[in-house]
């Protein structure tokens, strides 16, 4: 007995329906995903409830105004660069043992002005930089 073998065709894989399903899934994910917008992040800056500070003899007071002017120990200092500001801090702290740089920045002063003072204090060799805050009213 002879059985005739019929030639089998190779199965075809149709990719078009699979691509359609994947596109529908991608569109669904795009529409339902929420994206965080860090530019619109609203924050409340903290206020401090602290006792009145004691005057210390080893403080170097740096005042930064809203328009970027600097006062060092109540004397105006013209900002040229960070190295010059570091030299002014070094002169102000000459003779002080373990001097502390106290930054009194205006509420509307830009961050770059504060960063300059911090960088100058680091270059001048002062290890402690503190920020003065206004006592909050309850």
The tens digit of pLDDT for each residue in 49-70 reads 666 556 667 888 888 888 888 8
Segment 114-138 shows an average pLDDT of: 83
For the chain, which residues make up each domain, given as ranges?
Answer: 59-131
pTM (two decimals):
0.58
Tell me how far apart the alpha carbons of residues 94 and 10 are, in angstroms, rounded to a whole number.
90
CA dihedral over 130, 80, 122, 118, signed as positive or negative: positive
Q: Please report which confidence band the pLDDT of residue 40 belongs to, taking 50, 70 and 90 as the band edges.
A: very low
Backbone angles phi, psi at 108, to 5 degrees: -100, 10
Asked: is 59-131 a CATH 3.30.420.40 domain? The reply is no
Angle between helices 82-92 and 111-124 (to 10 degrees): 60
- The pLDDT score that the predictor gives to residue 8 is 78
pLDDT reading at 11 higher than 60: yes
Assign 89 to helix, strand or coil: helix
Segment 28-32 shows an average pLDDT of: 88
Segment 87-112 shows an average pLDDT of: 86
Give, for 131, the enclosing helix (H) or strand (E).
Answer: strand 128-131
Q: Please report which confidence band the pLDDT of residue 20 belongs to, taking 50, 70 and 90 as the band edges.
A: very high
């Amino acid at each position: 007995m002879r059985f005739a073998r019929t030639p089998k065709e190779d199965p075809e894989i149709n990719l078009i329906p699979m691509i359609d399903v994947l596109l529908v899934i991608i569109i669904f994910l795009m529409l339902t995903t929420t994206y965080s917008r860090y530019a619109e992040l609203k924050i409340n800056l903290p206020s401090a409830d602290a006792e009145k500070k004691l005057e210390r003899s080893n403080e170097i007071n740096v005042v930064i105004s809203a328009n970027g002017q600097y006062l060092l120990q109540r004397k105006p200092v013209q900002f040229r660069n960070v190295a010059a500001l570091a030299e002014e801090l070094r002169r102000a702290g000459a003779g002080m043992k373990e001097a502390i740089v106290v930054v009194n920045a205006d509420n509307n002063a830009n961050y770059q002005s504060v960063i300059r003072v911090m960088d100058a204090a680091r270059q001048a060799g002062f290890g402690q930089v503190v920020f003065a805050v206004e006592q909050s009213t309850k």
